[in-house]
């Protein structure tokens, strides 16, 4: 967990920063970030991850649902 393939870039539309976090695409979109990722996983750079965290503070229930799924 938390390991990003070398060279992975942030998937937020228009962002070209290096990715630091890999997250569920649906969750990132729910947080209001526009991503160009088509897969289940979205890579976020440091600053967009911060933004994502800010928008999804109250997501403990979601987090649990996510783990239940796997
Ligand atoms: Zn970014």
Question: Would you say 15 and 50 are in contact if contact means Cβ atoms under 8 Å apart?
Answer: no
What pLDDT is attached to residue 58? 58
CA 50 vs CA 17, 44, 46, 69: distances in Å: 13, 9, 6, 25
12 CA distance to ligand 1 centroid (A)?
A: 5
pTM of the model: 0.72
Q: How far is the CA of 29 from the centre of ligand 1 (A)?
A: 13
Q: How far is the CA of 57 from the centre of ligand 1 (A)?
A: 18
* 33-50 per-position pLDDT tens digit: 999 987 899 999 999 999
Is 36:6 a contact under the CB 8 Å cutoff? no
């Amino acid at each position: 967990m938390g390991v990003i393939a070398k060279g992975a870039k942030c998937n937020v539309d228009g962002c070209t920063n290096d990715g630091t976090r890999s997250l569920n695409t649906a969750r990132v979109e729910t947080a209001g970030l526009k991503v160009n990722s088509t897969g289940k996983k979205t890579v976020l750079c440091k600053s967009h991850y911060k933004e994502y965290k800010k928008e999804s503070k109250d997501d403990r229930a979601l987090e649990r649902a996510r783990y239940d799924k796997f």
